[in-house]
A and B are shown apart, each in its own frame.
Chain A
């Protein structure tokens, strides 16, 4: 019964979405306050209905209702409760329902917190947002209905993939979706502004927090995915330039560009039409990502069923929204004249450079991702575009960004002096050079790229420090330290996020440049040396029984050579899940601040001993640490006074019945 109600609620939500997409738009066009005001309760209703529907599906999973084909395919009575809940979005249908739930949540948030928006703009934003929701409701109801029943329910389900029964799955997709879908708000604001024909500083201020929030969630989501791959896949890779990864990376890059250009719109009323275009493209890349993941065009092997019908439907959604928005953009963008005047050397120009580099690097990822498709369709060549291409084509842009970032961040608005900014950054430059040289001297014979990367990441972190310090003005140290605590949170957000970029970069270049690898047949009780560590295979226990698997568990002792101190006793495993007939490797990882020791167990060898792979991965955790710091910077910026003031103003303003003119 609850399942039927959930299904019914979903259909109702679809109808509300269609209503909300039409009526407020007409209301805004003909200036009818009542018609516009209806968008707000509609957005709330839509969200509540979808939430109920999602709740009903969760209920079906939690109670193991095997009359639903989705539950049969993805659950089992004996599955732990956590995975019964996360299993709801561990499949195509359920994850799409989560997608629209988040979509309607963002729409409702715009209704709840958008009190200070002009009524016409608000009505249009909610209408556009609702049109996206309507398209996805239709997609779910017509091609991917999670509420389908089966005639004769089985006694038990087929269980969720053992590898997916991981806490990582609980958080990774929701964060990614919060990011993907959050960009729909930027899209709705852009299209509404195009319909309105007006983009001003206020638009920049409204659109930025949504973009920032979406970017923060995407950052966390991508970071989680990367970390999960690192510890779960058993060879310690953290980024593979896989189409599905690229699908999440492209919106991230564009969102990063947008949240910088929106500042220019907000503060200087320039880069308006460019920001609108970015807002449209950011969501466009989200949709492309959805298409890539769910259509299976680019990835022949994937967990979510590859269904051409679904692919075509998403392609239609993509075509409609991107085509429509870009057409509108072509018609209206010319009307958006920039107002702010700025000199050739200024913060504005710096942000133009930022946007240029981010946009082109997004394009590199995009063209590399779809090139196999283009080559096959138009040139009849089957070829691969893999990590070597992306490393070669993408890295220069990252390096260029890293060089320019601290300087651009130091430039004042309107008119700046390059010499002054560079002079202030001399200490950062010296420090960067010193660490780069140190890295070069310590590890001769490695690639030249790594010391450059080390220098650049130091430059980024030190540059961020110089930037925030320069904001404290002149005076004694004590006075300036005092000022430091009273700086706007946006300044802190900027510094923290920029430093986070440097930290992640440091982790990536040192890991790729200086990791030590060892492959050998290890005999039990015969220690050997890897880097500064002594590794000893102490014991291997076969047929160790886990809850639902059988394991071959090794005991590996890791000692420091210099002191002989036991650093860690780790237990890399090889597991077999008999029910699923699936083997997995569990790496033994000793996390450290300056390095990870990463050990995997291979096959037993014919003449005794075991194949063992050992890596010393320098500064591995800095990659994800930097990601978290970036997200933290985003949160700081999001809590800046100017946004809180706007939210506070919303509470004191009457939200309904305000005539437009």
Chain B
């Protein structure tokens, strides 16, 4: 399905460039690595659920260059991200920040896990403490049926 999305996007652009062009790469490998990490967390706004690191879109390229430019200027990773968010809104963050209502998103699973853990413990302890069921003997029909099945 992802293929289809890429396909439709590529339709809009005459010649898609491969993401991260050689001329974008910074000479300092450590800084380049930081740029790649930051890019992977930023959404390409005109694409569907793609980071700017993997997108072919022109806008993504501009953002990649902007990220690298800020890094060269001496910004920290956080400052670069803040700079981009200031201009494009929190929509660009592929990992929503833990702030306001989004806390619910981040905490939903751990809370559910604890809840489930509690329920499981209650259930297992109840099972462990339950009296063993009295074995119910098979009635005639069931016995005949069982025999038939076992004959196979």
A residues bordering B, Cβ < 8 Å? 116, 161, 163-164, 225, 228-229, 232-235, 237, 240-245, 270, 293, 299-303, 338-344, 348-349, 352-353, 356, 359-361, 363-364, 367-368, 371, 375, 378-379, 381-389, 392-393, 397, 519-521, 581-585, 600-603, 605, 611, 613, 645-646, 648-649, 652-653
How far, in whole Å, are A379 and B19 apart by their CA atoms in the complex?
Answer: 34
B128 to chain A minimum Cβ distance, whole angstroms, is: 5
Note all chain A residues with C-beta closer than 8 A to B23: 521
Kindly list 8 other residue pairs between chains A and B, CB separation below 8 angstroms, not including A235-B54, A382-B90.
A164-B7, A240-B50, A242-B48, A379-B101, A384-B91, A585-B18, A611-B17, A611-B18
| Cross-chain contact A645 with B149 (CB below 8 angstroms) | yes
Note all chain B residues with C-beta closer than 8 A to A613: 18, 20
Q: Which residue of B lies closest to A239 (CB)?
A: B2
| Cross-chain contact A519 with B25 (CB below 8 angstroms) | yes
| Cross-chain contact A342 with B43 (CB below 8 angstroms) | no
How far, in whole Å, are A244 and B6 apart by their CA atoms in the complex?
Answer: 13
Note all chain B residues with C-beta closer than 8 A to A585: 16, 18
**Quick one: which of B1, B22, B127 has the most chain A CB within 10 A?**
B1
Note all chain B residues with C-beta closer than 8 A to A116: 149
| Cross-chain contact A385 with B116 (CB below 8 angstroms) | no
Question: Known: A356-B117, A519-B22. Is A649-B123 also a contact (CB below 8 A)?
Answer: no
| Cross-chain contact A648 with B152 (CB below 8 angstroms) | yes
Q: List 15 A-B contacts (CB under 8 A).
A: A232-B3, A242-B49, A293-B1, A340-B133, A344-B128, A349-B124, A367-B109, A375-B105, A386-B41, A393-B106, A520-B25, A603-B17, A648-B152, A649-B149, A653-B148
Note all chain B residues with C-beta closer than 8 A to A602: 17-18, 21-22
Note all chain B residues with C-beta closer than 8 A to A340: 127, 133
How far, in whole Å, are A293 and B96 apart by their CA atoms in the complex?
Answer: 23
A290 to chain B minimum Cβ distance, whole angstroms, is: 13
A231 to chain B minimum Cβ distance, whole angstroms, is: 10
Instruction: Fill in one digit per residue for B48-91: 1 if any A CB lies within 8 Å of its CB, else 0.
Output: 11110010000000000000000000000000000000000111
- Say whether chain A's binding surface is mostly helix, strand, loop, or mixed: mixed
Q: Select which of A243, A363, A384 is within 8 A of B108 by beta carbon.
A: A363
Q: Select which of A302, A382, A520 is within 8 A of B5 by beta carbon.
A: A302
How far, in whole Å, are A582 and B23 apart by their CA atoms in the complex?
Answer: 25
A611 to chain B minimum Cβ distance, whole angstroms, is: 5
Note all chain A residues with C-beta closer than 8 A to B10: 582-584
Note all chain B residues with C-beta closer than 8 A to A301: 5, 8-9, 48
Note all chain A residues with C-beta closer than 8 A to B148: 649, 652-653
Q: Select which of A163, A237, A299, A379 is within 8 A of B7 by beta carbon.
A: A163
- Check if B143 is an interface residue, CB within 8 A of chain A: no
Q: Select which of B8, B102, B117, B131 is within 8 A of A383 by beta carbon.
A: B102
How far, in whole Å, are A526 and B91 apart by their CA atoms in the complex?
Answer: 43
Note all chain B residues with C-beta closer than 8 A to A242: 1-2, 5, 48-49
| Cross-chain contact B152 with A649 (CB below 8 angstroms) | yes
- Check if B138 is an interface residue, CB within 8 A of chain A: no
How far, in whole Å, are A600 and B18 apart by their CA atoms in the complex?
Answer: 8
**Quick one: which of A164, A349, A386, A653 has the most chain B CB within 10 A?**
A386
Note all chain B residues with C-beta closer than 8 A to A392: 95
How far, in whole Å, are A301 and B50 apart by their CA atoms in the complex?
Answer: 12
Note all chain B residues with C-beta closer than 8 A to A359: 116
How far, in whole Å, are A79 and B103 apart by their CA atoms in the complex?
Answer: 52
Instruction: Fill in one digit per residue for B88-114: 1 if any A CB lies within 8 Å of its CB, else 0.
Output: 011111111000111001101100110
| Cross-chain contact A234 with B89 (CB below 8 angstroms) | no
| Cross-chain contact A384 with B127 (CB below 8 angstroms) | no
Q: Select which of A356, A381, A384, A387 is within 8 A of B116 by beta carbon.
A: A356
| Cross-chain contact B25 with A363 (CB below 8 angstroms) | no
How far, in whole Å, are A229 and B22 apart by their CA atoms in the complex?
Answer: 24
| Cross-chain contact B105 with A371 (CB below 8 angstroms) | yes
How far, in whole Å, are A410 and B128 apart by their CA atoms in the complex?
Answer: 19
Question: Known: A232-B3, A583-B10, A583-B16. Is A387-B51 also a contact (CB below 8 A)?
Answer: yes
Note all chain A residues with C-beta closer than 8 A to B113: 356, 360
B14 to chain A minimum Cβ distance, whole angstroms, is: 7
Note all chain A residues with C-beta closer than 8 A to B137: none
| Cross-chain contact A603 with B109 (CB below 8 angstroms) | no
Note all chain A residues with C-beta closer than 8 A to B131: 341
Note all chain A residues with C-beta closer than 8 A to B6: 233
Q: Which residue of A lies closest to B119 (CB)?
A: A356
B35 to chain A minimum Cβ distance, whole angstroms, is: 12
How far, in whole Å, are A242 and B131 apart by their CA atoms in the complex?
Answer: 48
Note all chain A residues with C-beta closer than 8 A to B4: 161, 163-164, 302-303
How far, in whole Å, are A652 and B137 apart by their CA atoms in the complex?
Answer: 25
| Cross-chain contact A386 with B43 (CB below 8 angstroms) | yes
